[in-house]
Amino acid sequence: MPCPGPAPTVQIRNAPTGRYLEKAGQHVDTTRARVSETQPPAHYEITVEGILAPHWSAWFDGLQLASDGGRTILTGPVADQAALHGLLAKIRDLGLPLLAVRRTEPP
């Protein structure tokens, strides 16, 4: 199916009063969208296919590793979305099939 028209332009600008996002002619203030420095990290459970030895924990920012039936589950706190994407990139770089990513309650 052909595209109905050109894709909307997205511009991110820095201004003295803060950052804003302009998308399809709309002004959206993103200064409140920043991660709070006082907010605790979110806890995640990431399941991959394959067995990782416990020494890989340090490479995965100290997440706990548990292997079960040909899978490894990485659990623990993740500082923010950038850190989560970094962990997922490491999993990709190792060639491990990603089975699940789940945000969980802290222990």
Same domain for 48 and 29, yes or no, is no
What are the pLDDT digits (tens) for 13-25?
443 444 444 445 5
Taking residues 50-54, report their average pLDDT: 94
Look at residues 58, 55, 106, 61 and name the one whose alpha carbon lies nearest to residue 82: 61
In a domain, 11, yes or no: yes
Task: Give the domain extent around 52.
Answer: 42-104
Give the predicted TM-score (pTM) of the model.
Answer: 0.65
Do the domain assignments include residue 1? no
Structure tokens at 103: 């945000």
What is the predicted pLDDT for the residue at 75? 97
Tokens describing residue 68:
């079960």
**CB count, 10 Å around CB of 47?**
17
In a domain, 17, yes or no: yes
pLDDT-derived band of residue 39, with 50, 70 and 90 as boundaries? confident
| H-helix segments, 15-105 | 81-94
CATH of residue 58's domain is 3.30.70
Distance CA 55, CA 77 (A): 18
Residues 46, 89 share a domain: yes
User: Quick one: CA dihedral 67, 75, 96, 100, positive or negative?
Assistant: positive
